[in-house]
Structure 1
Amino acid sequence: MSQERIRWSQKSLSDLVAYFHGEIEPALRRAGHETGKPPTYQDLLETGNGGIQYALREHHDRTLREFFVEDVGLTEEDDTESSIPTDDEGVQEEIDAYLHALATRKDLAESTIRTRRYRLKTYVDLYLDYHGEASFVDAVQDESNRTAEIQRNLDVFDHMHQEFAASSCVKYHGAVSAFYEHLLRRSKAAFNPVRDFTDEYDWRVGEPDNPALSPAQVSRLVDAVETPAEEIVVYALCAWGLRRGEVASLHSSQLDLSGSEAVIHFDDGRKNGPGSVSVLYGRPILEDRVALLGERSHWNGYLLPSGAAASGHVTGQTVQNRFQRICERSDVRVRGETPVSKMGRRFWYSTYSAVVEDLVTGIEGVAADQGSADASVVLANYVSQEKQRELRRNAMRERLAAAFDGQNRDDAHSDHRI
């Protein structure tokens, strides 16, 4: 391990991959951790490499799992041929046959095959989330299904467009389109429903994909809200770090308001995230919303209910539209354009990352006294998990309060750039 503090933020994605193979993997092996599959965050923290999580999230729009599976090429134990998330045997068989063809006819590396499988698994998982079944192999065999199947796939890629980096969207689209082209070559499909999707989206690669709102811009959004529903949108995205789909479907049954700290639970887990979210700031907003809606005689429990939707709640696109109207009303721009909802969520992640970096920096003096090369090692070994959690949360509350209470308005009218 280098005797200097690791400058995670200065490393490119390829630098991080090389650093994993050259430094992190040997350190994990020396510490007795199992290698060959994705390490946990705790594994990384114990070897002084916890900072990689925040560099991936902040600078490369990656979760640890995405990085280790897609970029490094590691695989989890259950990442086998039988793990495509569908009960449709036709889909399972065709994906297996496609990957087998890649391995035997194109002689692709095992890590490349694993990456293709991972991307197709993600696609199938999202398709199931939106449509409840994954019978898309049968659907593309009949030309009469073209219009409907294109729309079904647009639903899936709309989600990717909002939640993934542009570079990731390009990769997922390439993997899915290649699978459909395989079916076409085998005369098992009449059309490729995603073939022209690169013309549908502005997936510009080579520039930062997910800029964050600044604290000053969040302050302006708070000032500009006109209804309790709009207030929930701003707080849920920027103060609680939820995805727009999670905001749209937020239900009172997910809320635990009994303790000193409000918690939002996600019983089925969250994609690339924890199963619960602590409300570190804005609890009164949440409580007031529940109380207001609770006065209705036929409230269905959703915090953003919709009588017109079969689901009983608004859609993610509606959340997006409301967020953008607030941005337009408050004259907030990012790179000269109206921000999208994920930039609000990105503010939460950027703020949290800064808090963690400050925590590590603040303990560097102790690290030097202990003769440690990396402050995060001292943080892991000498500061209890409970104390770390307390420090992070207190600092996060202070930063969120500064933004939402309007203490960062000096650059409020600026066109925030990353």
Structure 2
Amino acid sequence: MTQEEAINWSRMSLEELQHYWNAYVEVDLERAGVDLSSRPTYEEITDAGYSGIAYALRQHHDMTLTEFLATVGYEEPGSSDGYSWGITNETTVDELETFLRSLSRRRGLVDSTIDTKQARLAKYARVYADLYGQADLVDQAVDPSNESTEYERVLGVFDEFDRELTTDASKLRYHSDVSQFYDHLERRSKVAFNPVAEIPKEFQWEPGDPDNPALSADQVRQIYEAVESPSEELLVLALCAWGLRRSEVAALHVSQLTLEGDDPHIAFDESRKNGPGTVALIYGVHELADRVDTLGSRDRRWNGYLFPSSKSSSGHIVGETVQQRFQRIAKRAGVRVDGGPPTSKMGRRFWYTTYLEAQKHLLENLQAIAADQGSSDEGVVLKNYLSEGERRKYRREFMRERLADAFEVNSTRKASENVSRLL
């Protein structure tokens, strides 16, 4: 019986579901490497083994998953306009909204992250109001002589959080968002002190140490060796050689591709979680070009998606399908991680790990130059003696070498197969 099958979602009350979320689901999401500073997606929750919660919410509580997540600190995206803070202190509401606008405008945080911070700040303000009559967060921190009294008041709020929230990581996320708000006010001389700055020292909260496994080069090589079609080959490359999210792989469109010239890349617009930008195609350009040519020549009505689907209204497969296909290839290759099939996200982590190793190798090779310049810091050479173009060129060369370690075997095998067919 799987973990999912063992959970009797339908018998849980809403409060029990909320407790289960804090006690177990968030913990497993963190172990899976999900960034809980913003609202987790249905795909990420499904990957962690908790897809049944959405059905139970819909059938037994008349709630969507998004509505439920709002009750545990992840506000619905786009809900900032007309947001109900649940408090009556206008000064506090005005300053909270000014703080969030500043995060959005100056730090460029995406809407989902802003919404999540908003929900946590609102919960803090509501608990404060429940304990002390009103959420006069700003006024109580104006007078320096009030610091000792206000510290005891905010400590009472976090005592509530300590009892209510199950994981230390959740408690620390709430503290971080609240402390950032007070820091924002203090920098603008609107308060005299940050009353929550020292709060974590009162508790034995430890930051989470989630297990974020990445596939090794050997595992990627095994998976790549097991592909049985150009479509499967492209899927493995997209996850492991380009570091794309599975939803990005599913919706990859020919209009995003620049394959000619010295800088082949994939372009993303504002809808991407990290915002607009490009992903360099350091490896696998020929395979990608071949896939585009094949799809274009095979079907004159091709819609331009690299993983098209006639059954989907979007015209392409979904992220869950990418996950299933990747795990099917991994199973065929006999690759397992911690006793189970690897997730598509582990392929993405392989890319990040490989990139960091490439950067480290580059710095190690600059040590000799740094010594000749009389510097003990190779980072100085990287920053001051190499242009951005040169730094990018060297990083990509090192990266290409490491990716070749994982993917060249399949290329050699395919070349041998082609020779065999000609003989």
TM-score by length of 1: 0.53
Q: Which has the higher contact order (CA 8 A, sep 6+)?
A: 1
CA-based RMSD: 4.4
Task: Measure how far apart 1:268 and its partner are.
Answer: 2.9
Structure ID, larger Rg: 2
| Alignment of 1:319 onto 2:322 | yes
Instruction: Map 1:375-390 to 2 at 5 A.
Output: 375-390=378-393
- Distance in 1, matches of 2:88 and 2:103, equals 13
- Distance in 2, matches of 1:120 and 1:274, equals 11
| Alignment of 1:360 onto 2:363 | yes
- Distance in 1, matches of 2:32 and 2:87, equals 28
Who is 2:112 aligned against? 122
Query: For the Cα contact (< 8 Å) 1:210–1:342, is it kept in 2?
Result: no
Deviations 1:108-151 (A, max 9, x none): 9x99998999999416779xxxxxxxxxxxxxxxxxxxxxxxxx
Query: For the Cα contact (< 8 Å) 2:266–2:280, is it kept in 1?
Result: yes
Who is 1:94 aligned against? 83
Query: For the Cα contact (< 8 Å) 2:78–2:111, is it kept in 1?
Result: no
Deviations 1:355-374 (A, max 9, x none): 10111122123323434343
| Alignment of 1:262 onto 2:264 | yes
Segments of 5+ residues of structure 1 without an aligned counterpart are: 1-58, 67-83, 127-165, 177-204, 408-418
Instruction: Map 1:231-242 to 2 at 5 A.
Output: 231-242=233-244
SS state of the match for residue 279, structure 2?
strand
Segments of 5+ residues of structure 2 without an aligned counterpart are: 1-30, 39-74, 117-166, 178-206, 411-423
Deviations 1:369-399 (A, max 9, x none): 4343432122110122221111111111111
Query: For the Cα contact (< 8 Å) 1:61–1:210, is it kept in 2?
Result: yes
Q: Percent identity?
A: 46
SS state of the match for residue 280, structure 1?
coil
Query: For the Cα contact (< 8 Å) 2:78–2:115, is it kept in 1?
Result: no
- Distance in 2, matches of 1:321 and 1:174, equals 38
Greater shift in the superposed pair: 293-302 or 364-373:
364-373
- Distance in 2, matches of 1:392 and 1:270, equals 24
- Distance in 2, matches of 1:403 and 1:324, equals 18
| Alignment of 1:281 onto 2:283 | yes
SS state of the match for residue 295, structure 2?
helix
- Distance in 2, matches of 1:234 and 1:369, equals 43
Task: Measure how far apart 1:172 and its partner are.
Answer: 8.0
Deviations 1:27-59 (A, max 9, x none): xxxxxxxxxxxxxxxxxxxxxxxxxxxxxxxx9
Supply the AA of the counterpart residue of 2:82.
Answer: E
TM-score by length of 2: 0.52
Supply the AA of the counterpart residue of 2:364.
Answer: T
SS state of the match for residue 406, structure 1?
helix
- Distance in 1, matches of 2:371 and 2:87, equals 51
Decide whether aligned partners of structure 1 residues 365 and 206 sit closer, same or farther in structure 2, where only a CA change above 3 A counts.
same
Decide whether aligned partners of structure 1 residues 62 and 308 sit closer, same or farther in structure 2, where only a CA change above 3 A counts.
closer
Deviations 1:164-187 (A, max 9, x none): xx99899889999xxxxxxxxxxx
Query: For the Cα contact (< 8 Å) 1:86–1:92, is it kept in 2?
Result: no
